[in-house]
């Protein structure tokens, strides 16, 4: 009787473990928070400091290796100080923005992926306001729910504001 009980318990444990792993593989949707840092390039680096942001992202698996992604975040780039031609100290305006991104992610191999996103950026400051476009190609690593990505992001409105970004998040 004891051997039968052990065999049944082992069988049930095997079924539970198999069901749990197959359910994880069938998970097609995930959502989670992220933080990001932006390091301005070009003219943007002359007027603004390193930026920081927080947001939420989601993804839906489409077919093998291809996933639809989207996110919304809040980014803040502090303005730098400068001296004008009369010797007076001035400050460039802070840039506050809400980027909304949609795109595709392609799994290159088990952990590594490439991603391209496009969307809009809503400027939320008193000096910079209105809506512009954005493009953001990137490459990253995703291990279980942990997602780390390096990217270049460019915002287009009254010129280009571009920055190299580093993004880290966790998806449930």
Supply the pLDDT for residue 26: 55
Give the best-scoring range by mean pLDDT among 14-18, 45-49, 80-84: 45-49
Cβ density class 143-172: b for 16+ within 10 Å, e for less? eeeebebebebbbebeeebbbebebebebe
Q: How far apart are CA 29 and CA 47, in angstroms?
A: 39
pLDDT for 11 beyond 60: no
Residue 7 banded pLDDT, cuts 50, 70, 90: very low
Q: How far is CA 139 from CA 16, 104, 136, in A?
A: 35, 12, 10
CA angle 161, 147, 29 (to 5 degrees): 105
pTM assigned to the model: 0.81
Residue 6 banded pLDDT, cuts 50, 70, 90: low
Q: Which of 76, 28, 30 is nearest to 49 (CA)?
A: 76
Supply the pLDDT for residue 25: 53
For the segment 53-110, what is each residue's pLDDT rounded down to a tens digit?
999 999 999 999 999 999 999 999 999 999 888 989 999 999 999 999 999 999 999 9
For the segment 148-163, what is each residue's pLDDT rounded down to a tens digit?
999 999 999 989 999 9
Residue 1 banded pLDDT, cuts 50, 70, 90: very low
Residue 127 banded pLDDT, cuts 50, 70, 90: confident
Location of structure tokens 């069901």: 19
């Amino acid at each position: 009787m004891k051997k039968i009980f052990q065999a049944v318990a082992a069988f049930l444990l095997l079924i539970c473990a198999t069901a749990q792993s197959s359910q994880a593989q069938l998970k097609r949707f995930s959502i989670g928070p992220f933080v990001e840092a932006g390091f301005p390039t070009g003219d943007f680096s002359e007027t603004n400091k390193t930026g920081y942001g927080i947001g939420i992202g989601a993804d839906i698996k489409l077919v093998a290796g291809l996933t639809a992604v989207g996110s919304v975040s809040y980014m803040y780039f502090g303005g730098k100080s400068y001296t004008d031609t009369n010797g007076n100290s001035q400050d460039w305006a802070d840039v506050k923005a809400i980027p909304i991104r949609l795109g595709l992610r392609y799994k290159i191999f088990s952990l590594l992926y490439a991603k391209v996103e496009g969307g809009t950026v809503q400027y939320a400051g008193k000096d910079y306001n209105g809506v512009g476009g954005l493009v953001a190609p990137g490459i990253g690593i995703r291990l279980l729910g942990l997602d780390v990505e390096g990217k270049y992001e460019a915002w287009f409105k009254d010129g280009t504001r571009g920055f190299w970004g580093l993004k880290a998040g966790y998806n449930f």
